[in-house]
Amino acid sequence: MINHSLFTTLKSLRGNPRGVVYTEPLWGIPFNLYAPYVSIYMLALGLTDKQIGLTVSISWGFQIIMALLSGVVTDKLGRRRTTLIFDILAWSVPALISALALNYWYFLAAAVTNSVWRFTHNSWTCLLVEDADQDQLVDIYSWIYIANIVVGFIAPLAGAFIGAFSLVPTMRALYIFAAIMFTLKAFVTYWMTEETRQGKVRMHETRHQSVLDVLGEYKGVVRTVLHSPQTLYTAGILLVLGISSIISGSFWAIIVTEKLHVPAQYLSYFPFLKSAVMLVFFFVVMPRIGKMHFKLPLLFGFLGYVLSQVLLVTAPDQGYFFLVISVFLEACCFAAVSPLVDKMVVLTVDPKERARIQSIMYVGTILITSPFGWIAGTLSEINKNLPFILNIILFASGAVLAILAGRASQKALPTEVPEAGATGT
């Protein structure tokens, strides 16, 4: 096992990829401890369902603004400094606010402050990939996912604490622990990394420009994106994954409990199964397909997603076998598709304009995906199967986009891939 390609990559990481990957558990551990209980913590402190929903909606509104500005800020401050500042603002500060929360206004303040994670998501991605070896990209992203899957197994520990000390005191303690860990992660990442080569270039180019001046240049960047088929296909695949994630995250438990009549106490077994399958897939299968061209793995991944949703909507009452196979397929497809799509983003985005192009892609993704929570909810009220039939259509579209993206990348191979390769070490 120690000679496994993933472990070989982990040991061989140097520079920024090492600093970013190695510190990921410092964020994942505290987040996975408190995240499953946030909503019931808010209810316990007197919030209504409507107030919780309003808080989420306001946060999404602020995220659009932050995503738009993230490219400008990342270019002006640099990838490393932006990540340090906004990691603390986006995670440490909201955790402290939530630990002290007494009513709705505390949670609203925490949600608005947390919306600046759109800055650090952009800068963190640039910091991770801009000076990375392209041959290691799939393994690097696999380790990011593995880190968060593994720490997810500790989530039941929070449940034990809640059983022993009750919900509110435990959540306050977990939030304080999270604030400390998030801050530690921000500083350790800063210490283990350095500004990327392209980051230094963009800091130099924008040092005498105002934020508005840099924003004014977005028109040209948008034009570049619209004339880049590979980037557009990649953005389309990101939309498919984003919308389907909203649908599954919001309505999977509903179809399983209300249509298939699976008792609620059994629901926790399925995410555990999904995490275990993904972990095995990353170590056993991904090293074999990670070096392949993304076209076929993505195509089969999306077709597997389609089959998983078909099994879900055709499962009989208490059809546990159908559910297990559906979850198994979905876990395998997620593990195969996600790192490859992350690699596509790196390879298809112009490295000279990475921060601003990513900013545009994030804004577009937020604007288009936001209504689908309401759309899926409306469909679910009509028929519990309809949101997942929509997923089937989305995943079929993803398969088509994978084919188109593969053809576009093969046509562009002589010119565009070497240019992207300039960001590697």
Give the mean model confidence (pLDDT) for residues 159-188.
93
Q: Which of 183, 174, 164 is nearest to 36 (CA)?
A: 174
In the chain, CATH 1.20.1250.20 sits at: 1-215, 217-425
Contact assessment for residue 314 and residue 367, using Cβ atoms and an 8 Å cutoff: no
Give the mean model confidence (pLDDT) for residues 71-89.
93
Q: What is the pLDDT of residues 382-425, one digit of tens each?
A: 888 998 999 999 999 999 999 988 887 766 554 443 333 333 32
Rounded Cα distance between 378 and 384, Å, is 10
pTM for the model stands at 0.76
The top-scoring range by mean pLDDT among 177-186, 203-212, 223-232, 399-408 is: 177-186
Neighbours of 282 (CB within 10 A): 22
**Architecture label for domain 217-425:** Up-down Bundle (1.20)
Question: Cβ neighbours of residue 57 under 8 Å, at least 6 residues apart?
Answer: none
- Domain 1-215: which topology? Growth Hormone; Chain: A; (1.20.1250)
Q: Which of 281, 318, 406, 219 is nearest to 6 (CA)?
A: 281
Sign of CA dihedral 382, 385, 388, 389: negative
pLDDT of residue 185: 97
pLDDT of residue 78: 92
- Is the pLDDT at 205 greater than 70? The verdict is yes
